[in-house]
Amino acid sequence: MFDLHPRLSADTILLGRFPLSLCLLMNDMHYPWLILVPQRDNLREIFELPTEDQQQLLRESSWVSERLSRHFNATKINIGALGNMVPQLHLHHIARYENDAAWPGPVWGKHPAQPYTLDNLKMMHDRLREAFADATQIGFVWAE
Amino acid sequence: MFDLHPRLSADTILLGRFPLSLCLLMNDMHYPWLILVPQRDNLREIFELPTEDQQQLLRESSWVSERLSRHFNATKINIGALGNMVPQLHLHHIARYENDAAWPGPVWGKHPAQPYTLDNLKMMHDRLREAFADATQIGFVWAE
């Protein structure tokens, strides 16, 4: 039985599910920021996943990275598996820009999150719908 | 022709080569910190690698993570592909501890690197030799 860590649940909006991972939008308007959480219990490290799950996580991660890079016209995608504060394995994907709030440093611990307004969340959701237009091809299902 | 970025070259010590990636030791005594650099030209993002190279990078990354975790008794392995400052694709692997200099934050941009002394580098090298004792199994070759 997989349960999303309460801290991840509180900080994000559930977009949907890939075959392995939940796909979450970080509730921080500073950056387009998606988090993948493999739906496996009691995992902290990528190397603890069975090899097939590791490869699936990579497929999902690269797919998300490519979409963020292209559709959000990012200068750089930052990928991170930290987990010092939230032990449940989760993989950050952040579209970075030379004029963003933390550039060129990492985003973590830099600025308090700036939660989406309803209007901005609607716009972000529309952009993600466009970026993920063919996501069913890799088994993505939008959350209800 | 693959050339290591001068900044990576200046900040690290070359340990050796996996089939895909150079393995570098970050010259910072604060943390056991290894960097993998795929020996491919003009790459900035993991998703730009051919699928087979992505999977090989994952194999090398998970192998390094597992060895760091086990042999250095880490609380958590932090993995990151940032590249905001150094554009050449490189993947950080950092053994983290609850009493380390940046815990629980990320290490990047927190403290200036504390270069190894010769004695400490010798000790670190010995520990890595032990951690990598069976590394030839996955095609690792120590630098001369």
In a domain, B82, yes or no: yes
In a domain, A87, yes or no: yes
In a domain, B104, yes or no: yes
Domain of residue B27 covers 6-142
Q: Which residues of B touch A104 (CB under 8 A)?
A: 84-85
In a domain, B1, yes or no: no
Q: Answer whether 0.95 is exceeded by the pTM.
A: yes
Q: Which residues of B touch A45 (CB under 8 A)?
A: 65-66, 69, 76-77
Cα separation, B26 vs B12, in Å, equals: 4
How far is residue B54 CA from its own chain's centroid? Answer: 16
Going residue by residue through chain A (144 aa), what tens digit of pLDDT does each one get? 799 999 999 999 999 999 999 999 999 999 999 999 999 999 999 999 999 999 999 999 999 999 999 999 999 999 999 999 999 999 999 999 999 999 999 999 889 999 999 999 999 999 999 999 999 999 999 998
Beta strands in chain B (DSSP E): 12-17, 21-26, 33-38, 76-81, 91-96, 141-142
In a domain, A107, yes or no: yes
The interface predicted TM-score of the complex, written ipTM, equals: 0.96
Cα–Cα–Cα angle for B47, B7, B90, nearest 5°? Answer: 20
pLDDT digits (tens, 9 = 90+) for B47-94: 999 999 999 999 999 999 999 999 999 999 999 999 999 999 999 999
In a domain, A112, yes or no: yes
Using CA coordinates, name the residue in chain A closest to B66: A47
Q: Which residues of B touch A109 (CB under 8 A)?
A: 105-106
Using CA coordinates, name the residue in chain A closest to B97: A84
Burial (0-12, 13-18, 19+ Cβ within 10 Å), A130: exposed
pLDDT digits (tens, 9 = 90+) for A118-137: 999 999 999 999 999 999 99
In a domain, A57, yes or no: yes
Q: Which residues of A touch B62 (CB under 8 A)?
A: 46-47, 54
In a domain, A66, yes or no: yes
Q: Do you find a cis peptide bond into A112, omega within 30 degrees of 0? A: no
Helix (H) or strand (E) holding A92: strand A91-96
CATH number at residue A81: 3.30.428.10
- Cβ-nearest to A82 among B44, B47, B106: B106
Q: How many domains does chain B have?
A: 1
Q: How far is A76 from chain B (nearest CA, A)?
A: 7
Q: What is the DSSP string of B65-85?
A: HHHHHHHTT-SEEEEEE--SS
